[in-house]
């Protein structure tokens, strides 16, 4: 089968981490045929924000950092990559790093993003923001806690955030049956919804490394079926490896 236009000149298709895990959410679905489950699937395209600046606010106000210079380059790269996708709608977190990542995507697609407060990151009220790769070098124990999924928030706060986040993503799915929708958000949000799809414990949901401006895809049917199509696509860094930061 011939390669799509974006892959021409490339000797092999870009690698993706593929995970498919089917969840039957309603008992009556068990007797439905696969065709019925997938009669009108929609595709969620999660885009993590670009690399932000490190911020510490001494007055205790939320950090909400802007993109660093490399983050702006990452945003342009993923926007160029997504320009070849037939995307119908864009949603974004209101946090500055997500909005700034979303802007070039809006421009290349000719769409205006809808802002949704309920897909903000779990640290939205924190007075500091330290990029994970910096935290790894400067505070190894804190990085290990984060990497293992141990959040600093109380269990009740985290559970409330998780429920709100998943509910908002499900609302987006309901509103866009059969369409392709980009959601520019955060690593925690992406992991939270993957946890919902893959039935992970919500208190240990940070299972996947999602790089800055990486793309993660989930297919969703009106019948309630969810399938993770890909995680952490970074093909847009193929010709710009200097933009890939872990």
Q: What per-residue confidence (pLDDT) applies to 129?
A: 83
Tokens representing residue 189 in the block: 């949000």
Mean pLDDT along residues 201-213: 87
Q: What per-residue confidence (pLDDT) applies to 111?
A: 98
How many Å apart are CA 79 and CA 75, to the nearest integer?
Answer: 6
Write down all domains in the chain, each with its CATH number in brackets.
Answer: 16-50+68-119+154-240 (3.40.50.1240)
Mean pLDDT along residues 130-157: 70
Helices 96-109 + 69-82 axis angle, to 10? 40
Q: Is 139 helix (H, G, I), strand (E, B) or coil?
A: coil
Sign of CA dihedral 172, 214, 204, 223: positive
Mean pLDDT along residues 132-143: 75
**Better-scored residue on pLDDT, 200 or 43:** 43
How many Å apart are CA 31 and CA 22, to the nearest integer?
Answer: 14
Q: What per-residue confidence (pLDDT) applies to 147?
A: 61
**Strands (E) located in the chain:** 42-48, 55-56, 89-92, 114-115, 128-129, 180-185, 215-220, 226-233
User: Is residue 148 classed exposed, middle or buried when 0-12, 13-18 and 19+ CB atoms within 10 A define those classes?
Assistant: exposed
Tokens representing residue 146 in the block: 């984060």
How many Å apart are CA 104 and CA 151, to the nearest integer?
Answer: 31
What average pLDDT does the chain have?
Answer: 83
For the cut 80, the answer to whether the pLDDT of residue 243 exceeds it is yes
For the cut 80, the answer to whether the pLDDT of residue 173 exceeds it is yes
């Amino acid at each position: 089968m011939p390669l799509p236009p974006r892959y021409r000149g490339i000797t092999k298709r870009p690698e993706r981490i593929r995970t498919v895990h089917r969840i039957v959410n309603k008992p009556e679905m068990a007797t439905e045929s696969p065709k019925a489950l997938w009669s009108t699937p929609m595709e969620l395209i999660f885009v993590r924000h670009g690399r932000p600046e490190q911020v510490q606010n001494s007055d205790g106000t939320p950090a909400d950092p802007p993109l660093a210079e490399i983050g702006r380059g990452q945003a342009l790269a993923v926007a160029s990559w997504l320009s070849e996708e037939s995307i119908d709608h864009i949603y974004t977190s209101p946090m500055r790093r997500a909005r700034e990542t979303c802007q070039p995507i809006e421009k290349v697609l000719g769409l205006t993003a809808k802002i949704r407060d309920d897909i903000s990151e779990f640290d939205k009220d924190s007075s500091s923001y330290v990029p994970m790769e910096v935290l790894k070098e400067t505070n190894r124990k804190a990085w290990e806690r984060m990497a293992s999924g141990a959040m600093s928030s109380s269990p009740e706060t985290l559970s409330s955030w998780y429920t709100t986040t998943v509910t908002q993503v499900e609302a987006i799915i309901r509103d866009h049956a059969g369409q392709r929708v980009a959601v520019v958000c955060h690593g925690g949000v992406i992991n939270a919804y993957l946890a919902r799809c893959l039935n992970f414990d919500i208190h240990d949901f940070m299972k996947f490394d999602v790089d800055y401006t990486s793309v993660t895809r989930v297919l969703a049917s009106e019948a309630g079926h969810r399938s993770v199509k890909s995680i952490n696509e970074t093909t847009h860094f193929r010709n710009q490896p200097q933009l890939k930061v872990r």
